[in-house]
């Protein structure tokens, strides 16, 4: 059994996240308390009670989802679960920072600082230029890339072999919708997002984030962490900051990343964080990999126990 950890990114948040976990795990509650001290407000209260409008702001969402994932790791350690068997990790978009944290590349404090800034800079880029995203379901990547090119968009997220998210100027989204329908897509769903993530409109956010990353220290991963940009494991510490800057405005090659993890012998994937998006995508990419999700203590215990049977 080769176990991989998956970490969700922005969009997975929901009011109530972390509440049950912190009620059952002192270690998880302590992680949220550390994050609150760093952020200057009660993060657990925001996650548990909302309001949703405040939780969904990028500068809050990104550190919140990371903290939930980190709290699950702390709860797993507290419970004596087998973290030593972890063979690798990956995270979707901002979730890649949680994967790097799990592998010892960045400290908890550094990840909070980075994600707070990353979220703020991305929101400012969204405010500067009206952008949008649309998820095309039922067409392969090549067909979606053609739609994107014809509509003046880019392929932002390769989520599964039959789901690709397109990103770009808001005024071009309707054209992509028409082209997807004409090409025979099962669905083309406009996403409720602040702007055009993982495309050229996010370059200003990456430029600003560069100064933040330059002030942080990075270590080499203890186990492989798959890069959203290359769909291959990160290299040594020195190469990681530049790759994570590029990640802000580059396509998320999630489907290819997961397939490569499986090719490296992964047989089990545990999603740590709110929601079940990544475990759901996993089943569409490679059904031979057992994929489960954990967001609270019972599901965490069940996820690790099932993999040991």
Strand 3-7 versus strand 268-272 pairing type: parallel
Q: Is 198 a catalytic residue?
A: yes
For residues 158 and 141, the answer to whether their CB atoms sit within 8 Å is: yes
Bridge partners of residue 226, in order along the sequence: 233
- Which strand ranges, in their side-by-side order, compose the sheet holding 268-272? 86-91, 3-7, 268-272, 290-294
Q: CA–CA separation, 291 vs 102, rounded Å? A: 18
Bridge partners of residue 220, in order along the sequence: none
Helix axes 95-102, 240-249, angle to 10 degrees: 160
Helix axes 297-308, 58-78, angle to 10 degrees: 50
Q: Which residue has 């397939």 as its token pair?
A: 259
- Alpha carbon 174 to its chain centroid, in Å, reads 26
| Secondary structure of residue 93 in the 3-state scheme | coil
Q: Is 255 a catalytic residue?
A: no
Query: Tokens representing 246?
Result: 């590029």
Q: Which residue has 């200003």 as its token pair?
A: 204
Q: CA–CA separation, 87 vs 222, rounded Å? A: 9
Active-site residue identified among 198, 234, 255, 279: 198
Alpha helices in 2-107 (DSSP H): 19-24, 26-39, 43-49, 52-55, 58-78, 95-102
Active-site residue identified among 25, 58, 93, 227: 93
Q: CB 158: neighbour CB atoms within 10 A?
A: 21
What is the set of active-site residues? 93, 198
């Amino acid at each position: 059994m080769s176990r991989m950890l998956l970490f969700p990114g922005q969009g997975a948040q929901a009011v109530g996240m972390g509440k049950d976990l912190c009620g059952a795990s002192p270690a998880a509650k302590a992680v949220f308390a550390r994050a609150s001290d760093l952020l200057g407000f009660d993060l657990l209260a925001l996650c548990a009670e909302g309001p949703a409008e405040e939780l969904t702001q990028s500068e809050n969402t990104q550190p919140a989802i990371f903290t939930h994932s980190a709290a699950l790791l702390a709860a797993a350690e507290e419970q004596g679960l087998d973290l030593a068997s972890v063979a690798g990790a990956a995270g979707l978009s901002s979730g890649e920072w949680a994967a790097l944290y799990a592998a010892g590349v960045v400290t908890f404090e550094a990840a909070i600082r980075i994600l707070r800034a990353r979220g703020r800079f991305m929101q400012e880029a969204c405010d500067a230029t009206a952008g949008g995203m649309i998820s095309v379901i039922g067409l392969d990547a090549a067909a979606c890339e053609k739609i994107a090119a014809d509509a003046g968009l880019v392929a932002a997220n390769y989520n599964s072999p039959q789901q690709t998210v397109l990103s770009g100027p808001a005024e071009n989204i309707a054209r992509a919708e028409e082209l997807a329908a004409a090409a025979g897509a099962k669905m083309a769903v406009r996403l409720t997002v602040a702007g055009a993530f993982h495309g050229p409109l996010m370059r200003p956010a990456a430029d600003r984030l560069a100064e933040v990353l330059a002030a942080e220290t990075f270590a080499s991963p203890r186990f492989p962490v798959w890069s959203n940009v290359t769909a291959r494991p990160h290299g040594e510490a020195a190469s990681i900051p530049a790759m994570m800057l590029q990640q802000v405005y580059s396509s998320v090659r999630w489907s290819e990343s997961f397939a490569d993890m499986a090719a490296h012998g992964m047989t089990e994937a545990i999603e740590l964080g709110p929601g079940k998006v990544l475990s759901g995508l996993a089943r569409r990419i490679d059904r031979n990999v057992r994929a489960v999700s954990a967001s609270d203590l019972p599901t965490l215990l069940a996820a690790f126990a099932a993999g040991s049977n």
